[in-house]
Amino acid sequence: MNLELRHLRVVCAIAETGSVTKAASTLGLAQPALTAQLQRIERTLGGPLFERDRRGARPTALGELVLSRARVLLPAMKGLQDEAARLAGADDALGRYRFGGVNSPILGRLVHRLSAEQPHAQITTYASWSADELAALVAGGRLDFALTGICGDATPPAEFGLSWQEVAVDPVLVLLPAGHPKAGQDEVGLAELRHEQWVAAPGDGCFGDCFAAACARAGFTPRKVYETDVRGCMDLVDAGEAVALCQATFRPVAGLVTRRLAGTPLRWRLLLGWHPESAAARVAEAVLEDAVAAYTDSLAAHPDYLTWLLRHPEFGARDTGAARPAGWVRTA
């Protein structure tokens, strides 16, 4: 048997978890299958890689040697694969756009603009609630751009080496059933909702911490917080079971209303990210300009919010001042 990278991943997983059983679970394999694979690896290398007893699995001297090499080779191969994926897309930088995001208020309009400007371009989208996953996919060359949001002054995922630019900054609103006692107000104090139950969409970002901190500043701890998808959020609010935080450009839905939170205790920053060494970097500024234009387009459905933005210039679309590459057709 020839030793392969997947075999090195098996050895590393066993060493990191300290157990063949735990490693099998991590790798999504049956424990007997992983044990048999380890035995084949050990036969190929000429000796046992782990001492196994009731306390787990500990590397032998041979195992430590293999691990030391594997911990160099595996990251190096991952880096090679990522760079190759980015390079492979270099020749059709203007012909393919792969976006990742979820619950974005501008994705549809952004795709529409790009399709009008470049009718022959291939545009695909990928949905994920995880900002880290989206950043990793961009860094690995599997996506070109990530559309994600963060709250307040928090920073986007930094460990993947992406360039991030703001598209817009909005206050966070509250979504209420139309019959809610506070629905008749233009603004609602966060403390006025201290007795409510809340619902939020899933994700690995900072928003839960930001919300909890805002509630603490308002003098209370939020009651039960449900977690479900966007449709489930609307259903729970419509049923009167909970209230929800939402983006300022959330589309009006019959039976539900959005209201501003007094003092804007929470801000949401919409970001566009790309890898600076990827083919997408060549057109990133133009795509950013389109993203800002798509955001501006979305405001047409929210005249009250647009009026509010005129009085609060610190919010709304960012000024890009971007220059478009040759061959790019501007749409109105």
Please give the class, per CATH, of domain 5-87: mainly alpha
pLDDT < 70 positions in the chain:
85-94, 204-207, 252, 320-332
- pLDDT score recorded for residue 329: 41
CATH 1.10.10.10 location in the chain: 5-87
- pLDDT score recorded for residue 286: 93
- pLDDT score recorded for residue 207: 66
If you count them, how many residues does the chain have? 332
Contact by Cβ (8 Å): 151, 206: yes
CATH 3.40.190.290 location in the chain: 97-331
Sheet holding 122-127, edge to edge: 122-127, 96-101, 145-151, 267-274, 163-171, 316-317
Q: May I ask the CATH architecture of the domain 97-331?
A: 3-Layer(aba) Sandwich (3.40)
- pLDDT score recorded for residue 326: 42
- pLDDT score recorded for residue 54: 85
- pLDDT score recorded for residue 86: 62
Give the residue ranges of DSSP H helices in 140-244: 207-217, 230-238
Q: Is residue 322 helix, strand or coil?
A: coil
- pLDDT score recorded for residue 320: 64
- pLDDT score recorded for residue 93: 45
Tokens 């470049």 locate to 118
- pLDDT score recorded for residue 201: 81
- Calpha distance 298→250 (Å, rounded): 9
pTM over 0.95: no
